Structure formats: C-alpha cells, structure tokens
C-alpha cells in the first residue's frame, strides 16, 4: 500500500546546525504515529518540513506517493495534510465558531467575485460551513462555547479549539504538535479516544507528544528523534525499552543494556510533571 | 445579517433624500468630496481587512484621475468609457506593484507603497509634456448625465453616492463569505491561515488590486467633476489623509470607512476655516501637525476606530473586564484536581 506520508533522507540545516539529519520514515494510511524525542530533537522542524513551512536542505517529502518537496504551506494543506501548532495560533479576535469556520477553507470554493456579488451559492456555502464548524466543535466538546471570543477560553480549551479547526479542514493526514500539552488527564484521554474514532473514519495521524501515557495508549508506532536523527522506531513498548532511547533521555553514560528499571523510568522522567495525574 | 441590511437601506434612503434638505452649492460639493473620499477609504479598509496598510492610495487616486483625463482629452473618448478604462489600467499597475511589494512583510510593505506614491507624484510633476507638470491639466472633458453637459452638482451627487454605496456593498460582501473568512484568518495569523490551505499571497494581492481600483475609480470621477487636476492633491499628504480616515473608522471596519471619510473631511473643513482665525499667522503646516497627533492618539486609545472604540468604552464601563489571564491562572489548579 502507498504510504500516506513518506520522507526520504530529509535534512534541514540552520547555518552550522543540523536540525533534521537524513530522516527516513513513512506513515501508512490510518496509522497513528508518535514522534518523540528530547527538547530540540528536531520534531517541530520535521513538521515544518513536511507541511511546507520550511524548505528542506536536502531530501524529499511524498504524499500518497506524490513528491511534494518545496510546495508552499497552503498547497500542502490544500492536499489535506493539516497541522496544528505547539504554540497555539488561533484567531484571538474572532469567536470560537468563526475560528473553526476558517478551517473549512480547503473544501469550499467561493471566489472573490462570487462573494462580492453575494451569489446564492456563496450564502449556501456559509450555512454548510457553519454546520460543519458546529460538528467539529462538538467532536472536541466545545459546542457550548461557539459564540465566545477564542481568547477567552482557558489554555486547554484553546488547544482543543485549534484541533477542531484542523478537523474542520477534513484532513487526510493530521499532524498534531503536542496536542495534550495543557490538557487535563481526562481531556487527554478524550482526545486519544477521538483520534481512534477519526482514524477508523480514514484519518492518518502523526503526533508529537511528550506525555508517555498518551504515546503508549494511542500510538501504533513511535519514531524517536535525537539531535535531528532518527535513533529508533517501532511499537511503543519496544521503543520504551530501547537502550538508545533511554540514553537520549537520560544522557549517554547511563544507558545500561540490562537496565529494565532504568528503562521504565526513562520515559516517565520525560513526561512533564504537570500532565501527570496527581 | 438583517440589521446590517436594514442599516444599508436606511443609509441609501438618507443619501437619496439628503439633497432635498441640503441645497447650497457648498454643502453639495462637500458631500460629493466626502463620497469620493469614502470610495478610497473603503478600499483602504478592504486592504486593512487582510492586515495590510498602504501609504500609496493617493497615487492610485491620482493615476485614475490623470489616466481618465488624458484618455478623454487625447483620444476624445467619452468619460463614461475612460473612467472604467483608467480604473482597469490602474488595477493592472497595482498588480505589477504588488508582485514585488507583497513579498515584503509588514512595515516594509508600507514603505514600498510610500515609495511608489512618491515616485508617481514626482512623475506627475516632471513629465511636463504628458501631465502639464505643476500647472496640471485643464479643460478635462465634462461628464454628460441625462443629456446635461456638464452634469450638475446634484447629478454628480447621485452618481458619486451610487458608486460609493456600491463600493461599500461590494466590500462588505468580499469581507463576508469564504473570502471574508480567509481574510480574517490572514489578519489573525498568516501562518495559521496557510496551514488551513488559505493562499495568503493570492488573497493579499486580490485586496491590494481591489483597493487600488477603488482609489482609481474615485480619482477618475474626480477628474471629470473638478475638470482640473494638478499633482498636489495626489501627494504623500493625501495618502496620509486617506489612511487617517480609514483609521478613524477602524482599519478593518467597512462601514467605518464611510464614517471616517465623512468625519475627517468635515474636520478638515473646520480646521481650515477656524485655525487661521485663532492663529492668524500660522502657515499651511499646522494641518499636518494636527493630523499627525490625531493619528497617534487614535492608534493608542482607539485602535479599532472611533465607533468601535466608543462601543468598547461603554461596554467596559457597564461590565468591568475580568482580570486578563485570570482564567488561565485558574486552569492548572483545576488540572491537579482532575
């Protein structure tokens, strides 16, 4: 089967620093892949390279077998490869539902002229978009906040709002950058359940995630980055025991090949304390 | 929205009925100028809806005026033809200017439009064989309306305000529907907009060209209305003047564009009439100073325009704001309980 997403020998340099180095990976359709790694490992840069926000220094990106290297961000998004941002990028002045309605751009068609003349098609589309936005809000449990200004939402709900906006785009591949940061434990569990449901409906997920409970729970496969290189890949349980992964999280010298206790401790140490249930 | 439609109908009725109550030549002329400025300002607000600011609108206004004047004088075409022709030509110029200028971010785009405005004005002054230089162009062919040539002040009133209301309606529609959502997304965050598939540079170009066409249309009508043009009303000062109108109305508020054009034009008349009485010896520079201060004060205290600013102020008095960030502070505590 053609990979939903594939990167081949993908690299990105910033001056003398190599942020992403020769990364090869592919994501099967309807797979949930987690990308983990210490801070500064190049996870968000990898997202930027895939989604067209940064051109790679070398290497290629493929969507369903089609080479999309060097495409603009809006062109990549138009294909259905939709991302969210680690540092939320909401339209703060707009209401919650307006934010989500903006997400419907990809599958709607009204142009400048049709809008200028307020043709019936443009107004019909408005109703469609509004309904779709309400549906997306309901998926993340924000349907009651539709008319509130987006900036009035607490942080965790703003993150859910950004996910709802991405869902409104009807993505084929959804790249989520730390979707559970700032969510309560129950909200995070709800998000994992939502991802499973959407995956059953055909959506492919790539998720940068620090919360190891979420990774263990949600991911089919984990890709581990360290200093821009892919150092491990596989099912979550296997990756958790991988000595190279433990070394990346705890420091080079502590990698004991037989240290299963250390292995169990390592990802837990990487979990930000505020997302651990108390 | 229905209240908006009702407001528009009310405005149109008011505009239609106004000449019944206002009949002095001065008042009609003032209303005509307000109408022309409103067209330019609404175009500038349309541009503002995509988060862009131009200090070159007077150049587009002037190009429309010179374009239509030269076409009708030189080729003998009817102004009814040269007005749309000049408008379309200036839209083409704006596209060519936009190609390099829109690659620039934020402040640099503003500087590019400012530079363009200065260049155009210098050309108006220096290209004497074409533009008549500082002496300007005289004897611009008049418009003929309903068999009357030149058209009367009142006929111009109806022409100009039909165009102004049409421009307002078009701009309102463009900022609604899918294009409006895309523009607001760009205004909110160009990065987030692109991530949702919004072709950011294409939309910015579209509204830039539209805003230039608005200015050119107003300028072309102006040329056949006043029938004499010279470079000075199209200088940088005029671009600043248009920008102040847009800012007074609220840079992203289409209706505010109309309000801003009216308020600043009337203020300008009052200043011109009253300041020399109070300070008999001041030169022409005081206006620039007054507008400069006005612009700064509005940007600081009413960044969303005077109308929205007043509404916000009343709202704030009626409902004291919660402490900013208060909800965010409460959130971690809730998280620990979960």
A103 touches chain B (CB under 8 A): yes
Selected residue with higher pLDDT from A262 and A154: A154
Averaged over A249-264, what is the pLDDT? 51
Is B179 among the domain residues? yes
**Inter-chain contact A105–B196, Cβ cutoff 8 Å?**
yes
- Chain B hits for A104, CB-CB cut-off 8 Å, are 181
- Chain B hits for A74, CB-CB cut-off 8 Å, are 193-194, 197-200
A121 touches chain B (CB under 8 A): no
CATH of domain A1-80+171-278: 3.40.50.300
Structurally, chain B folds into a number of domains equal to 1
- Is residue A105 within 8 Å of residue B230, measured between CB atoms? no
A277 touches chain B (CB under 8 A): yes
- Chain A hits for B335, CB-CB cut-off 8 Å, are 156, 184-185, 274
* pLDDT of amino acid A38: 92
What ipTM does the predicted assembly reach?
0.88
Residue range of the domain that includes B230 = 22-235
User: Burial letters for B174-184: b for 16+ Cβ neighbours within 10 Å, e otherwise?
Assistant: bbbbbbbbbbb
pLDDT at A270 over 90: no
* pLDDT of amino acid B329: 36
Q: What is the pLDDT of residues A62-75, one digit of tens each?
A: 999 999 999 999 99
**Inter-chain contact B338–A111, Cβ cutoff 8 Å?**
no
Q: How far off is chain A from B193, nearest CA to CA, in Å?
A: 8
* pLDDT of amino acid A255: 44
Distances from the Cα of A253 to the Cα of A226, A248, A249, B1, angstroms:
16, 10, 11, 67
- At residue A276 the predicted structure's pLDDT band, cuts being 50, 70 and 90, is very low
A 232-271 → B contacts, CB under 8 A: none
- Chain A hits for B303, CB-CB cut-off 8 Å, are none
Return the residue of A nearest to B205 by Cα: A112
Is B334 among the domain residues? no
* pLDDT of amino acid B297: 85
* pLDDT of amino acid B330: 35
* pLDDT of amino acid B320: 54
How is the beta sheet containing A173-177 ordered, strand by strand?
A: A81-83, A173-177, A204-208, A32-36, A221-226, A229-234
CA distance A170 to B218: 43
Residue closest to A215 by CA, chosen among A204, A224, A202 = A224
DSSP assignments along A71-104, one per residue = --HHHHHHHTEEE--SS----TTSBHHHHHHHGG
Selected residue with higher pLDDT from B264 and A260: B264
* pLDDT of amino acid B308: 75
Q: What is the pLDDT of residues A177-225, one digit of tens each?
A: 999 999 999 999 999 999 999 999 999 999 999 999 999 999 999 999 9
Dihedrals φ, ψ of A173, to 5°?
Answer: -125, 130
Q: How far off is chain B from A244, nearest CA to CA, in Å?
A: 33
Q: What is the pLDDT of residues A30-45, one digit of tens each?
A: 999 999 999 889 999 9
Residue closest to A136 by CA, chosen among A115, A171, A163 = A163
* pLDDT of amino acid B82: 96
pLDDT at A263 over 60: no
A 193-212 → B contacts, CB under 8 A: none
* pLDDT of amino acid B314: 72
Averaged over A231-244, what is the pLDDT? 93
CB burial class (10 A; 0-12, 13-18, 19+) of residue B203?
A: buried
**Which residues of chain B, if any, have pLDDT below 50?**
321-338
* pLDDT of amino acid A261: 41
* pLDDT of amino acid A125: 94
């Amino acid at each position: 089967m053609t990979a939903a997403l594939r990167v081949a020998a993908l690299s990105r340099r910033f001056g003398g620093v190599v942020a992403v180095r020769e990364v090869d990976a592919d994501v099967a359709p309807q797979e949930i892949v987690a990308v983990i790694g210490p801070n500064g490992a190049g996870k968000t840069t990898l997202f930027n390279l895939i989604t067209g926000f940064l051109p790679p220094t070398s290497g290629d990106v493929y969507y369903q077998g089609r080479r999309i290297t060097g495409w603009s961000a809006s062109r990549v998004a138009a294909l259905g490869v939709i991302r969210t941002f680690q540092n939320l990028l909401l339209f703060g002045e707009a209401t919650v539902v307006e934010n989500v309605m903006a997400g419907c751009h990809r599958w709607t068609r009204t142009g400048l002229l049709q809008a200028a003349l307020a043709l019936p098609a443009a107004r019909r589309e408005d109703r469609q978009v509004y309904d779709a936005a309400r549906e997306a809000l309901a998926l993340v449990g924000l349907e009651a906040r539709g008319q509130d200004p987006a900036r009035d939402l607490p942080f965790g709900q703003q993150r859910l709002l950004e996910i709802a906006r991405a869902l409104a785009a009807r993505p084929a591949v959804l790249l989520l950058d730390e979707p559970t940061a700032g969510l309560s434990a129950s909200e995070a569990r709800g998000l994992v359940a939502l991802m499973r449901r959407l995956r059953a409906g055909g959506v492919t997920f790539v998720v940068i995630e620090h919360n190891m409970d979420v990774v263990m729970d949600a991911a089919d496969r984990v890709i581990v980055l360290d200093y821009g290189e892919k150092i491990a890949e596989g099912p979550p349980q296997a990756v958790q025991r991988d000595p190279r992964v433990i070394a990346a999280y705890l420091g080079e010298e502590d990698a004991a090949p037989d240290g299963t206790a250390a292995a169990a401790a390592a990802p837990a140490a990487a979990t930000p304390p505020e997302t651990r249930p108390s | 929205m229905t209240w908006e439609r009702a407001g528009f109908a009310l405005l149109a009725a008011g505009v239609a009925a106004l000449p019944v109550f206002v009949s002095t030549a001065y008042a009609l002329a003032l209303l005509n100028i307000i109408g022309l400025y409103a067209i330019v300002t609404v175009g500038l607000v349309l541009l503002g809806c995509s988060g862009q600011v131009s200090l070159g609108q007077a150049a587009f206004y002037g190009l429309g005026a010179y374009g239509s004047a030269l076409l009708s004088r030189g080729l003998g075409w009817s102004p009814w033809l040269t007005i749309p022709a000049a408008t379309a030509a200036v839209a083409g110029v704006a596209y060519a200017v936009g190609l390099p200028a829109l690659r620039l971010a934020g402040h640099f785009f503003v500087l590019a439009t400012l530079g363009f405005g200065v260049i155009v004005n210098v050309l108006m002054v220096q290209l004497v064989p074409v533009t008549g230089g500082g002496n300007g162009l005289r004897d611009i062919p008049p418009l003929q309306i309903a068999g009357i040539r030149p058209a009367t002040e009142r006929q111009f009133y109806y022409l100009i305000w039909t165009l102004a209301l049409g421009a307002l309606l078009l701009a309102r529609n463009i900022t609604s529907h899918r294009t409006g959502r895309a523009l607001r997304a760009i205004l909110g965050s160009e990065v987030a907009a692109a991530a949702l598939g919004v072709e950011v540079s294409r939309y910015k170009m579209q509204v830039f060209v539209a805003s230039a066409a608005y200015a050119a249309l107003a300028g072309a009508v102006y040329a056949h209305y006043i029938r004499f043009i010279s470079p000075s009303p199209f200088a940088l000062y005029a671009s600043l003047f248009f920008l102040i109108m847009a800012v007074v109305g609220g840079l992203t508020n289409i209706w505010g564009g109309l309000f801003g054009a009216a308020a600043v034009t009337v203020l300008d008349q009052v200043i011109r009439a009253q300041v020399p009485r109070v300070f008999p010896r001041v030169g022409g520079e005081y206006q620039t100073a007054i507008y400069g201060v006005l612009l700064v004060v509005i940007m600081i205290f009413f960044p969303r325009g005077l109308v929205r600013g007043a509404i916000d102020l009343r709202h704030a008095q009626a409902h004291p704001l919660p402490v900013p960030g208060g909800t965010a502070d409460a959130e971690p505590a809730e998280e620990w309980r979960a």
